[in-house]
């Protein structure tokens, strides 16, 4: 079965933005409940489709290809499936619509080839040090 993001507050949302689950894909349910979940999933999808455009997260990850070693560790740890290898370019790429800017890829990267949004590596450390006093 497919796991929902939050069974109480977001019962038809999955962990991936824009992907919804309902009915028997969530688990055994009776027909009336499956119909209600289907309607809820359709309404959630309609909220996305009604927009003129879909914007990417401002803080999505990006790859500094010059120092990327193509180890693919970032792909393995991304909880949103937002990273992939482009076979034509031979580079790690980021799907900026799927990326939520969580930073798991940046933490895993042994070469510091991944940065998150507007945050430079040293800028984040300066903010942390200032907060700690």
Q: Domain residues of the chain, as ranges?
A: 1-54, 61-132
Confidence of residue 122 (pLDDT cuts 50, 70, 90): low
- CATH of span 61-132: 3.30.70.20
| pLDDT digit string, tens, across residues 14-37 | 877 778 999 999 889 999 999 999
| pLDDT digit string, tens, across residues 52-100 | 877 655 678 989 999 999 999 999 999 989 999 999 999 999 998 888 8
Check residue 17 and give its pLDDT. Answer: 74
User: Is the pTM value of this prediction over 0.75?
Assistant: no
Alpha helices per DSSP H over the chain: 31-49, 73-77, 104-108, 121-132
Which of the 8 DSSP states describes residue 13? B
Check residue 53 and give its pLDDT. Answer: 78
> How far apart, in whole angstroms, are the C-alpha atoms of residue 122 and residue 92?
23
Average pLDDT value for residue range 10-17? 81
């Amino acid at each position: 079965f497919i796991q929902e993001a939050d069974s109480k507050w977001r019962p038809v949302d999955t962990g991936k933005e824009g992907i919804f689950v309902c009915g028997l894909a969530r688990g055994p349910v009776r027909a009336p409940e499956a119909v209600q979940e289907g309607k809820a999933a359709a309404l959630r999808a309609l909220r996305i489709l009604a927009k003129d455009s879909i914007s990417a997260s401002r803080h999505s990850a990006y790859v500094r290809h010059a120092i990327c070693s193509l180890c693919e560790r970032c792909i393995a740890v991304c909880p949103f499936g937002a990273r992939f290898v482009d076979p034509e370019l031979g580079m790690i790429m980021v799907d900026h619509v799927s990326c939520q800017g969580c930073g798991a890829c940046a933490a895993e990267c042994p070469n510091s080839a991944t940065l998150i949004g507007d945050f430079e590596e040293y800028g984040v450390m300066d903010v942390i040090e200032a907060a700690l006093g």
